[in-house]
Amino acid sequence: MGEERPGPRERMVISAAQLIRRHGVTATGMREVAVHAGAPRGSLQHYFPGGKEQLVNEAIDWAGRYAGRRIGRFVASLDEPSPSALFAAMVAQWTDEYAAEGFAAGCPVAAATAESAVGGSARAAAAAAFTTWRTPLAEALAGMGVPAARAASLATLMISTLEGAILLARADQDVRPLTTAVRELGPLLDAAVAPAP
């Protein structure tokens, strides 16, 4: 049996995340989200009585959970799990997308963060989303032999490097910032693995 198609509410949250990653929070309108999701316009008020702010916050939360779940999938797909291989898999998601679809989209959490840097609920939602992504990443690194205290720091470094490389790749319209990040950060990540006793 195939996966169940998400209902209109979830489709609108996912659509909002997809539109935010392309256009940013300010340029993403509620009507546009409804059209993109194939949902009736009247359902916006029903599902999101808090308006655009609620929808944006839920889209950011969804994006953080999506990124966090991807970590387990990446680890499961690795023939020989290592921190550098995990980072390479995280980056490959973006290089593959850019090769297939161009450089129009970035991370919705980063987009929301950039637009809400001065404060507000979107900033808090973005901070929580990064934590939701960083936590399973740190756990995966610890599972590969990185000491727990260092795993949390390296998870922050990996996400920071990836987000910066995404911005540079989009600005340059070239995947080289991403491939450079993998090449340069990989040895540092693998060196953090504690030697076997």
- Confidence at residue 165, expressed as pLDDT on a 0 to 100 scale: 98
Q: Give SS3 for 152.
A: helix
Q: Which residue has the tokens 């936590």?
A: 135
- Confidence at residue 1, expressed as pLDDT on a 0 to 100 scale: 41
Whether the Cβ atoms of residue 83 and residue 146 lie closer than 8 Å to each other: yes
What the block records as the tokens of 146 is 């990185």
The DSSP line for 94-143 is HHHHHHHH-S----HHHHHHHHTTT-SHHHHHHHHHHHHHHHHHHHHHHH
Q: Which residues of the chain have pLDDT under 50?
A: 1-2
Which tens digit of pLDDT belongs to each residue from 25-61? 889 988 899 999 988 878 888 899 998 999 999 999 9
Q: Which residue has the tokens 């489709």?
A: 11
